[in-house]
Amino acid sequence: MAETGSSVPRRQLGRLLRQAREEAGINLEAAATTLEWSRAKMYRLEAGQTALRTHDVNLMCQLYGTSADLTEVLVSLARESKSRGWWHAYGEVVPAWFELYVGLEAAACNVRHYEPNLIPGLIQTPEYMSAVFETKPGRTPAEVAQKVALRMERQKLLTRKSPAAPQFAAIVDESVLHRPISDVEAWRAQLAYLVNAAQATNIKVRVLPRTVGPHRASVAGAFVMLDFPAKGTRPAEPSTVYSESLTGSIYLDRPSEVETYSSVWETLWSLALDERASEDLVAALIKETYDD
């Protein structure tokens, strides 16, 4: 993989191969011996430090007895890990049922989400999720329900005990809070959930006031920053920036890219109302729903 490209698919490939090996009950030494590789090479591959050929991935999958679906995903990731600039279009290269982002999110110890258009997904209510998913033409009620169930499953990471839940911080543009869904009761419940969720010690929510003029993120749109923990002797994986569009999603992890977004985040965090003032604003908006 070219050094200028994202290492995200390579890192995810290494993580999934390590999980597959462990689930098969094969230790690192035994796998290296069977594949006729050095232990050091196995370590580098599983740490996402080295690109893998699709042929080698198939050999490892045969050894570990992985399913056909998972093998397809791993081979696809091996192909993508050689790309210079990695763009993931759902359902085209990696099967639609597999979302790379979900795996990264679950592995993160710190998640920061800037959202100028919607309530962030990890703090949405089911009713709000449904309203969002229903905006796609032709989506059936059953498909909407499936999307909602998957997102609710993702939300469990904020309350999990082991591994410890990640720290989650969200900056929500005030304009989002003035863009209700049609069901008034459901909208009121969503606003209340914003306040209630933020009572958890690992969750912080700030509102960026409408009075704030153009800022550094104005041309960028929504983004998520993911930081990862070190595990044992393994160094922490590089922080990753994720953003999506109508046709796909992009992952950035070069130091200069992450630094740019980190700087923008700090600017937005300082411009936003603090947590207490943000709660007061949301509470006032809830009251307005009763006065209307």
Task: Calculate the average pLDDT of the chain.
Answer: 87
pLDDT tens column, 8-24: 778 888 888 998 999 99
* pLDDT surpassing 60 at residue 92: no
pLDDT interval class at 111 (50, 70, 90): very high
pLDDT for 163 equals: 87
Q: What is the pLDDT of residues 238-256, one digit of tens each?
A: 899 999 888 777 888 888 9
Average pLDDT of the residues in 49-71: 91
Decide which of 276 and 103 is more confident. Answer: 276
pLDDT at 7 over 80: no
Percent of residues, the chain, with pLDDT higher than 90: 62
- Binned at pLDDT 50, 70 and 90, residue 97 comes out as very low
Q: Please compute the mean of the pLDDT values over residues 213-227 and round it to a whole number.
A: 88
Q: What percent of the chain has pLDDT over 70?
A: 90
At 171 the pLDDT is 97
Buried b or exposed e, range 50-88, using 16+ CB within 10 angstroms: ebbeeeebebbbebbebeeebbebbbbbbbbbbbeebeb
Name the more confident of 93 and 285: 285
